[in-house]
Structure 1
Amino acid sequence: MDSNNTAATAVDTSNIKTMPIIISFLIAGFVGLFSETALNIALQNIINGFGISASSAQWLTTGYLLTLGVLVPVSGLIMQWFTTRQLFLTSLVFSIIGTLIAAIAPSFAVLLIARIVQAVGTALLLPLMFNTILNIIPPHRRGKAMGLIGLVIMFAPAVGPTVSGLIIDKLTWHWIFWFSLPLLVIALVFGAFFMQNVTQLTKPKIDILSIVLSTIGFGGVVYGFSHAGEGGGWGDPIVIVTIAVGILSLILFSVRQVKMEQPMMNLNAFRYPMFVLGLLLILVSMMVMLSSMILLPLYLQTSLALTPLVAGLTMLPGGVINGLLSPVMGGLFDKFGPRFLVTPGLIIVTLVMFGFSTISLETSTSFIVGLHIALMIGISMIMMPAQTNGLNQLPPSLYPDGTAIMNTLQQVAGAIGTAVAISIMTAGSDRYMESAANPQDPNTAIQAFTEGVQSSFIFGIIAAIVGVVISFFIRRVKVDHQAN
């Protein structure tokens, strides 16, 4: 298999203005990730407003991740057919259209459609952003560049819940999207002026069967886990069939990619051990982080009866600290490598999960704030170092495939983590209600919900411990190639 034929190659970067390109991505990424976490704080309002269950509301997150899981695998191919500038502007157009639909959504179904349209924009933007950074930044400076991206990527989710809480306190949740819309337009205009093309297009043959197998595979796995989390249960025939069909399709997809001269996704990236280890650590982090980010707002507003504004403020310090630490971790990674960051980070995350598993109706908000800060510090020590170290080991010809693989499986892991967490929470709540002396008492329902949340964090403990074990095998990559 000739990997050089499967990836867009980098152009001469002597005329590339690096900083305007990075700023363009930072603006677009900030707004997209802001709206994602801002909606988490608004979930209770959406549940009440549309008269839906928490498991149904979960589809606003899972549907978003499902769309990413279907589209991101194709991104490596798309980046070989369209220029950096074309893809950047197209991603923003989709994000703007989705945000506008969400802002005027009269029903849950319309809001869900809007989220899917937004996800199309994100599915184009995320792999494009990382592939561009790999092509315009030399390896010895990538830690700082990734840290800068991490600053915005983590700061946006941090301020999202707080701004959302302020908006919901005075207005409706629709205004979360009205707030985002002008910022997306600014990103579009800025990108139209400053975005440059950083790759040469190779336009490989499009294999329809690979696209179909990828869509059924990733879509089936995410849908199956999501349906289980929605209340279908793990023994539901729909769950069993969709997961089984998804896994079979992924096996057939992988076999086909290996046999093709010009695969849609070059799986040669898996021949690089540090890429594989970095990928596994990212998947663990995504499952822990996204499951926590959907459980905590629900717990804060249901069990502790906090307003959306106070719940948002409770989660603000951790997110802000995480964002501010990202450039610091980038510099430390460039200097010392990943091992002295990743393993301690995972140990911190494991201890935090133990702490979250003890929360109750009497838990103080200061305790939650402290745990959340520790969680975000741990995540900042894991995500960027593991991702950058893994991608550094790949040759430039595999950059589009490596970023596509990593971004695809991140979304799948996030969807699985979210679905499993909600499923465990629901099962824990049901068990408590079955043994309760007075199930009709509203306080009993709140206590049952809290018990379910405690159970869900046990899943986080197990995932984090697995991550600690994996981290012992990570080592710094010695980069022999340079960004072209």
Structure 2
Amino acid sequence: MTAPEPTATASPSDALGDLEGELATGRAGRTPLVVTLLVAATFVVILNETIMVNAIPRLMADFGVDARAAQWLSTVFMLTMAAVIPMTGWFLQRVTTRTAYAAAMTTFSIGTALAAVAPTFEVLLAGRVVQAAGTAVMMPLLMTTLMTVVPAHDRGRVMGNVTLAMSCAPALGPAVSGVILQLGSWRLIFVFVLPVAIGVGLWGMRLLQNVGRTRAGSPSWLSVVLAAGGFSTLVYGLSQIGADGGVSPAALIGAGVALVALFAAYQVRLQASERPLLDLRTLRHRTYALSLLLMSAGFMAFLGSMILLPLYLQQLRGLTELQAGLLVMPGGLAMGLLGPQVGRAYDRYGSRPLVIPGALGMVAALGLLSRVDLGTPYAVILALHVVLMGCLAMVFTPVFTIGLGDLPPHLYSHGSSLLGTLQQVSGAIGTALLIVVMDNRAGSLAAGGADAEAAAIGGLQWAFVAGAVIGVVVVVTSLLLPSRVDAPEGAPAPH
């Protein structure tokens, strides 16, 4: 599935391929049905990324594994996403929308069923790998379809609705799992998700129509090997920073960077014959390249900070997993609920009036979070987190829209895949960096005679400062973005 070729005329019929009229596009000002269906499916699979957070103690007891092994349930999910997403640009251009959707939801459902009945920890890990493979297809499929069927003047509003679902899903994950775990075994988490995934999958297949056109061609298997090996090794190396024993993180990171460099060089070579697995000509488009840089820095600060706050609430303030999840949930909900309003404002005013204040507010919120201590009122923490999430909504929704909008339609799938890949890598970098800063500062304070709590608070404060410094990159990049981009030739026309 891909957008129309750039030589196509900009008529709605060419832009929508074989999509049938109002069933997919809806009336003007309405979110296309195809996008609504994909948002529902993507919400289900992304919810799964964070829904296991609270179950780790139960899993450790049931399977007799330590905390480091149990964390692999999250790590292996991230590694699989990093390995699979680079291939989705090619994949989405070779199969129809319905085929890609069916493959993603079927794969995810099989992984969920496998995890629900897993007799051993290794089988549970395998189930998470299969789940992640399905999840990796959904986000690029959603973004590519949105850019194909929604005209430029309405993308901000529709992207805002997408942001609502994408932000609420990870925010609800820990809270939902906390409630389910009150009812019994951790297996109930997968038992809860499975019928929902099957229902959404069947609903989508009954109503979903194909969007755009497909191309023939076989993949470059060397590209597949280099992409899977390079990005997964890089993310794994980053996740191992600060871990005891095992292979050196520096060696893993070096090997990952080398493989990614070989992959990039090979893609440039394949572009001459129009056979790249991931088309890097997207980077020739200035606004898209700036958006990638801004989103990467933003996700480094965002995901790194999201790790810090639960650590602070649970380890230093003594909250349970459910209590910590409920405390941070309003921030995620605020980010999601603001998405549609930000999207409408983008359609009316452009990106700069939103992204620049949002970036400045993000840096300010992270700076204020660097002052938290053991006596900080929970209401203050809640308010700062809501402000941080609201500012991120002002940044992410316009940047997603303007970045992908700078590309010609035939590069939408590749642009979405590259964006998703860099999200995984930058999230791993941000998490590793902030944890290293926190641990090193805490160790330094402890060596200087500080007690354990004071050292931990000092490390946490420095980590939030590091997040604010990363946020400065977002501010600087936001000043370079245009307010709008001209619709490329072949982009979908207004309804």
TM-score between both structures, scaled by the size of structure 2: 0.88
**Aligned residue pair count:** 473
Look up the match of 1:250.
260
Query: Which of 248, 251, 259 pairs up with 1:241?
Result: 251
* Amino acid of the structure 2 residue aligned with 1:483: P
Q: Contact 1:62/1:226 (CA < 8 Å) preserved in 2? A: yes
In structure 2, distance between residues paired with 1:56 and 1:449? 24
Residue 48 of structure 2: aligned partner: 35
What are the superposed Cα offsets for residues 393-412 of structure 1, whole Å, 9 maximum, x if unpaired? 11111111111111111111
SS at structure 1 position matched to 2:240:
helix
Q: Deviations over 1:412-432 (max 9, x none)?
A: 111222233333334344444
Note if 1:82 corresponds to 2:99.
no
Contact 1:41-1:164 within 8 A present in 2 as well: yes
Aligned residue in 2 for 1:423: 436
Distance verdict in 2 for CA 1:258–1:41, change over 3 Å: same
Asked if 2 retains the 8 angstrom alpha-carbon contact of 1:33 and 1:157, the reply is yes
Q: Residue 28 of structure 2 aligns with which residue?
A: none
Q: Hey, what does 2:477 align to over in structure 1?
A: 470
d(CA) in 2 for partners of 1:93, 1:429: 46
- 1:11 corresponds, among 17, 39, 48, to 17
Where 1:167 maps in the other structure, the secondary structure is helix
Are 2:353 and 1:340 equivalent residues in the alignment?
A: yes
Secondary structure of residue in 2 paired with 1:230: coil
**Residue aligned with 2:373, SS:** coil
CA contact (8 A) 2:20 2:209 kept: no
Task: Judge conservation of contact 2:93–2:214 (CA < 8 Å) in 1.
Answer: yes
* Shift in alpha-carbon separation, 1:205–1:167, aligned structure 2, 3 A: closer
Q: Distance in 1 between matches of 2:150 and 2:487?
A: 13
Q: Distance in 2 between matches of 1:452 and 1:107?
A: 37
Q: Summarize deviations over 1:324-362 as a string: whole Å, max 9, x none.
A: 100001001111111111111111111121122222222
Change (3 A) 1:131 1:356: same
CA distance in 2, matches of 1:314, 1:455: 22
Q: Distance in 1 between matches of 2:428 and 2:148?
A: 29
Structure 1 counterpart of 2:492:
483
Partner Cα separation in structure 2 for residue 408 and residue 223 of structure 1: 14
Aligned CA-pair RMSD: 2.7
SS in 1 for 2:215: coil
TM-score normalised by the chain length of structure 1? 0.90
Q: Which amino acid aligns with 1:468?
A: V
Q: Is 1:378–2:391 an aligned residue pair?
A: yes
Match status 1:209 vs 2:222 = yes
> After superposition, where does 1:329-368 map in structure 2 within 5 Å?
329-368=342-381
- Indicate whether 1:457 and 2:478 are aligned: no
Using the TM superposition, give the Cα deviation of residue 32 of structure 1 relative to its aligned residue in structure 2, in angstroms. Answer: 1.6
Q: Indicate how the Cα distance of structure 1 residues 412 and 351 shifts in structure 2: closer, same or farther if over 3 A, else same.
A: same
Instruction: State the 1:195 CA deviation.
Output: 1.4
- Partners in 2 of 1:357 and 1:102 — Cα distance? 39
Distance 1:309 1:326 in 2: 26
CA 1:128–1:87 in structure 2 vs 1: closer, same or farther (change >3 Å)? same
Change (3 A) 1:380 1:192: same
Partner of 1:414: 427
Correspondence for 1:138 among 129, 138, 151: 151
Shift of 1:9: 8.4
Q: AA paired with 2:475? A: V
Give the aligned residue type for 2:82: G
- Give the AA of the match of 1:214: A
C-alpha contact (below 8 Å) 2:226/2:262 kept by paired residues: yes
Contact 1:231–1:426 at 8 Å: present in 2 too?
A: no
- In the alignment, residue 189 of structure 1 is paired with which amino acid? L
Pick the aligned partner of 2:109 from 89, 96, 117.
96
**In structure 1, how many angstroms separate the alpha carbons of the residues matched to 2:423 and 2:16?**
25
Letter in 2 for 1:327: P
Whole-Å separation in 1 of the counterparts to 2:178 and 2:454: 24
Match of 2:269 in 1: 259
**Structure 1 residue 182: deviation in Å?**
1.8
Question: Within 1, Cα distance between the matches of 2:19 and 2:299?
Answer: 33
1:282 equivalent in structure 2: 295
Segment of structure 1 superposing worse, 366-375 or 244-253? 244-253
Report the Cα offset of residue 307 of structure 1.
2.0
Any stretches of 5+ residues in structure 1 without a counterpart? 438-443
* Secondary structure class of the residue paired with 1:199: coil
Answer yes or no: is the 8 Å Cα contact 2:283–2:289 preserved in 1: yes
Aligned partners of 1:164 and 1:312 also within 8 Å: no
Q: Which residue does the alignment assign to 1:317? A: 330
Instruction: Determine the C-alpha separation between the residues in 2 that align with 1:266 and 1:198.
Output: 20
Alignment of 1:440-451 (within 5 A): 445=452, 447-451=454-458
Identity of aligned residues (%): 37
Deviation of 1:85 (Å): 0.6
State the Cα deviation string for residues 130-186 of structure 1 (Å, max 9, x = none). Answer: 111111111111111111111111122222222222233443443332222221111
**Residue type of the alignment partner of 2:372:** I
The 1:389–1:202 alpha-carbon spacing in structure 2 relative to 1, beyond 3 Å, is same
| 1:394 counterpart = 2:385 | no
Paired with 1:340 and 1:430, the residues of 2 have a C-alpha distance of 42
Report the CA distance shift for 1:359/1:101 in structure 2 as closer, same or farther (over 3 A). farther
1:284-303 to structure 2, matched below 5 A, reads 284-303=297-316
Superposed CA offset, 1:438-480 (max 9, x none) = xxxxxx5555444443332233112111111111101121224
CA spacing shift, 1:424–1:96, aligned 2, 3 Å: farther
The correspondence of residues 46-195 of structure 1 with structure 2, limited to 5 A, is: 46=59, 56-105=69-118, 108-195=121-208
Tell me what 1:441 maps to: none
Q: Whole-Å Cα distance in 1 between the matches of residues 460 and 63 of structure 2?
A: 23
Deviations 1:198-247 (A, max 9, x none): 12211223211111221222122112111214346xxx863222222222
Cα distance in structure 2, aligned partners of 1:52 and 1:360? 33
